[in-house]
Structure 1
Amino acid sequence: MDKPIGKRISTIFIPVSDVKKARDWYCNLLGIMADGEIAHGHIYVVSLENVNLVLDSKIFEKYKPDEMPRFHFDTTDIKVAYEYVKSNGIEILTEIEDGHWFNISDPDGNVLMVCQC
């Protein structure tokens, strides 16, 4: 019997205090245009290759950021990615660890990992 829950994650919600500011920050980080519209005054969808990031300011009040990342962004060159993040003034939480990952923080304190896979 097939299971009713699929083996795929299509969306990750990220609580943000200011959806416009978060949209600009994430789009800048990922090098994509912030060309979609903000839905319902509090949601912006960042469409990536295999998943959507939903920036949502409505859920922010009830949220406390985790100390650990819930997902990571891929890179093919961790050193280049680290220097890119550093040159963009993004808060770096760790140095490059084990030669293949580091953590950063978005403006709302959400911990994000960048990982060379």
Structure 2
Amino acid sequence: MTTPDYRSPIKNQIGGVFVPVRNLEKAKEWYRKILGLEGGEEYFGHLFVAPMKGTAGLILDSMPKWRKDDGNISTFQVPSIQLLTDDIQAAYQFMKENNVELVTEIQDNFYFVFKDLDGNLLMICKEVS
């Protein structure tokens, strides 16, 4: 049996993850505080590329082309981004202390779900080494 030839000009790599935000300035400050970010760059008046470790970047986007007629944008209604921690208990406590809206408690001693300022559901997981 031969192996199919799946040649593609598209790389098997995620370059960035877009997060829809209503107010870019407020979102930048919130993510900087929660993720301990320093630096980052703005592009085209609606994108902020956050300096992240790893291969995929976090891009906050006020999404002017994707807004509804009333000016609103859709948010992630299921956790679609996984952030990592070495200490799930400390991460959960940090989020509580910073008044982040927690959607779940720590599940299976492994993860919990929270909302960002815009109501996007995000997840923090214990890094498996």
In the superposition, the TM-score normalised over structure 2's length comes to 0.82
Superposed CA deviations along residues 47-97 of structure 1, whole A, max 9, x for unmatched, are: 211221111113462432232111200111110110011111111110001
User: 12-21 or 2-11, which moves further after superposition?
Assistant: 2-11
- Please give the secondary structure, in 2, of the residue aligned with 1:21: helix
Q: Classify the secondary structure of the residue corresponding to 1:83.
A: helix
| Alpha-carbon distance between aligned partners in 1 of 2:83 and 2:63, rounded to the nearest angstrom | 24
1:48 aligns with 2:58: no
1:109 to 109, 119, 127: 119
1:16 aligned onto 2:21: yes
Distance 2:40 2:52 in 1: 13
Structure 1: runs of 5 or more not aligned: none
Structure label with greater radius of gyration = 2
3-state SS of paired residue (1:28): helix
In the TM superposition, 1:8-87 aligns within 5 A as 8-33=13-38, 35-50=39-54, 51-59=56-64, 61-62=67-68, 63-87=73-97
Q: Report sequence identity in percent.
A: 37
Question: What TM-score, normalized to structure 1?
Answer: 0.89
Unaligned runs of 5+ in 2: none
Amino acid at match of 1:6: K
Q: Which amino acid aligns with 1:39?
A: Y
Partner SS, residue 9 of structure 1: coil
Deviation of 1:32 after TM superposition, in Å, equals 1.6
Taking the aligned partners of 2:18 and 2:101, their CA distance within structure 1 comes to 21
May I ask how many residue pairs the two structures share in their alignment?
Answer: 116
On the 8 A contact 2:16/2:57 being kept in 1, the answer is yes
CA distance in 1, matches of 2:77, 2:45: 28
Is the 2:21–2:27 Cα contact (8 Å) retained in structure 1? yes
